[in-house]
Amino acid sequence: MFAEAAHESGREGVLYAKEWLERTGTVTVPTAAGDSLFGGALGTALGNGHYRYFDLLGFFYGRRQRPFFAEVKHYTNQAPSAEYESFLALAYCSSLSPLGENADYMFITWHPFSIKRWSTLRSAASVREAIESREEWLPPNSAISEAACQSVASRLWIIVLSERSVHLQLPLRLAKRVFADLETEAFQQYRSWGET
Amino acid sequence: MTSGPEGLNIVEVADFFRARDTIKVAIVQEMAAVAPAARVSSTAFFNHSFLPDVEIAWPGAVRDVYLRAYRDFKMLRMEVEALRHTDGVLYLWSLPDDAPPSEFVDAVNRARGLLVIERGALTALRRTLPSRSSSVVEAVLHVGHGLLRVADVAPFAERLIGSTQPISLTEALGPYAPDPSATPSETALTSGPHVRPLPSNKFAPAKPLRTGVPTIRLLPSERRPPAMPLRRRAPSRQMGPFRAA
């Protein structure tokens, strides 16, 4: 019963985060955990033969349509410190694949964590520390690359949502009108702008 | 930790966008085949939380189609609840193999204007019914609501074909008929195994379909408005981000 409630909360968190990201107007998030079409793209093959999955796959609007993966932890009374370490290690492994080579990695949580280390959570050292404790995830006969750690660190996001986050976004009725207009030629230009 | 990934093989970004476009084309073609009187167009969005994947336009009405590919009834129930005010079509790429649980069916029943269809159900219905009954299939897509799975096609068609008396369009639609206030102008159909197709202009509903805005997705902790200072003013419609259109 408790586990099911946790699963339900997790699903709600994933769909909430998906919508929150889409309502920023800067990204599209076509794939979420449980998607039978593109759910496989969320998975990363690990060196031990297993797979681990992110919760969301999206793309920044822009010329290169840069992808991003997101891990969503809808915890309200538990700091996801251990989950963040796993996320870092998974991001490192994912970055070794063609899809993850230039992808950003977002950790979305409702509960701040590791406050004393907050300023270093997105450092190359944190990435290295996370993958060092999970060396079995690495591809066979491969060593941890400092360059890869730094590359992943430069593409990390930590997003802390709250129950009030929705109040700081466009009302849904207005958002729909704005984004519908974005289908016009102006949007096509917008989608090709910028460094992304 | 888990088994290998399922679904389409996506190695690079280009793979994703190619596959996405292929899927959108398939949906548009399916809708266009069952709704020849409509203009079916693909939008720029895919599996967007509140924007449609496809738009179907009849004279005086537009119906939005939202694609979802989750194989989890709990996720699908959340999507039904989020879209319940749209009067659109929730297009399910593949349903789980087991029968839909009561929570899901109840959610569909509460979404009074929403049509939830399984991929291929309308095509199967069109192929099962006599060709002269194809107008009924278009009517389901145009104004129908409820859950239509491939498994529902045979009993639906059997009921229709087996009718020996003239039946109205509303009767033909059966459990998929819209609310009485939005019933299309009714025309008696001929009896027997072949149903005379209605002219397309007979499908215009009494009033245009509402294209409401999907309900904002709320977490349980947010399902009450934040505390706001009371203001003395005349009663009016409740406004705010929690209000569905």
Task: Write out residues 14-73 of A within 8 Å (CB-CB) of B.
Answer: 15-16, 18-19, 22-23, 28-32, 34-43, 45-46, 50-53, 59, 65, 67
Two structure tokens written together for A93: 């492994």
The model's pTM is 0.80
Two structure tokens written together for B217: 């997705």
Other beta carbons within 10 Å of A147: 8
Please report residues of A whose CB lies closer than 8 A to that of B222: 163, 166
User: For residue A116, what are the contacts with CB-CB under 8 A and spacing of at least 6?
Assistant: none
Other beta carbons within 10 Å of A169: 17
A64 pLDDT higher than 50: yes
A122 pLDDT higher than 80: yes
A137 touches chain B (CB under 8 A): no
Quote the pLDDT of residue A82: 94
Which is higher by pLDDT, A2 or A40?
Answer: A40
| Collapsed DSSP state (helix, strand, coil) of residue A78 | coil
Please report residues of B whose CB lies closer than 8 A to that of A52: 1-2
Which is higher by pLDDT, B105 or B184?
Answer: B105
Please report residues of B whose CB lies closer than 8 A to that of A183: 43-44
Please report residues of B whose CB lies closer than 8 A to that of A22: 48-50
Quote the pLDDT of residue B174: 81
Quote the pLDDT of residue A100: 94
Question: Using the beta-carbon criterion (under 8 Å), do A35 and B69 form an inter-chain contact?
Answer: yes
Q: From the DSSP assignment, how many helices (H) and strands (E) are in chain B? A: 7, 6
Mean per-residue pLDDT of chain B: 74
Amino acid occupying residue B31: M
Quote the pLDDT of residue B212: 41
Model pLDDT for residues A5-20, shown as the tens digit of each residue = 667 788 889 999 999 9
Quote the pLDDT of residue B163: 66
Two structure tokens written together for A141: 């006969």
Quote the pLDDT of residue A85: 97
Quote the pLDDT of residue B91: 96
Quote the pLDDT of residue B217: 43
B171 touches chain A (CB under 8 A): no
Quote the pLDDT of residue B6: 66
B238 pLDDT higher than 80: no
ipTM: 0.88
Q: Return the residue in A66, A172, A177, A182 with the most chain B beta carbons within 10 A, the one to mutate for interface testing.
A: A172
Closest residue in chain B to residue A4, using alpha carbons only: B74
B184 pLDDT higher than 60: no
Mean per-residue pLDDT of chain A: 88
Query: Burial level of B218, CB count in 10 A (0-12/13-18/19+)?
Result: middle
* Cross-chain CB nearest to A39 (options B6, B220, B245): B6
